[in-house]
Amino acid sequence: MPPSKLAHVVYQTNRMAEMRDWYATVLDGHVIYQNPHLCFVTYDEEHHRVAFVDFGPLAPRAPAAGGALGPKPVEQAGLHHVAFTFASMGELLDNYVRLRDRGIRPFFCVNHGPTTSMYYRDPDGNRIELQIDNFATAEEGQAWMHSPAFDENPIGVEYDPDRLVSRFRAGVPVAELVIRG
């Protein structure tokens, strides 16, 4: 029997305050509990979605090589990114503008086909993806992933987030905005 949901992500860090503030800002969340070694942040009814632990000095992370998803390999094995889904294109773009205006910009924006996504790096260099689903149902998204178009280009097509905001605000239908070019 599968689990019912992904409950939370925990980051080990020596930058507790920076990480807490960054995730609270990016996810529009708030601190539920904090002490010198633990911090729990949520953005919904869950008791926590993101947590941070600092149990002592950590070795610095080796910098990643290449772009968001490759073609150059990263220098270490481990988690690539964590994704958070927004309910609508409007919410994703409003969040993008809110973050952009605070100096937090994505390093990679891509229409994967099943999702329209923006990738960011947190203060420790971890990648997070903020996305919307481009299909009304999971079944439609999965069917698209079995299409020749996805097989030909499984990463997707990059886009300019400011241009996407302009087109959305100009009234271009979301159904047109999510079509992968």
DSSP 73: P
Least confident piece of the model among 51-60, 83-92, 110-119, 151-160: 51-60
Helix (H, G, I), strand (E, B) or coil at 131: strand
| 72 pLDDT higher than 90 | no
How far is it, in rounded angstroms, from Cα 74 to Cα 117?
A: 20
- pLDDT tens digits for range 12-29: 999 999 999 999 999 999
pLDDT, tens digit, 9 for 90 and up, residues 75-120:
466 788 999 999 999 999 999 999 999 999 999 999 999 999 999 9
**Pairwise CA distance, residues 126 & 149, whole Å:** 30
Output the 3-class SS for 18-39.
HHHHHHHHHCCCEEEEECCCEE
Q: Computed over its alpha carbons, how large is the radius of gyration of the chain?
A: 17
pTM value? 0.87
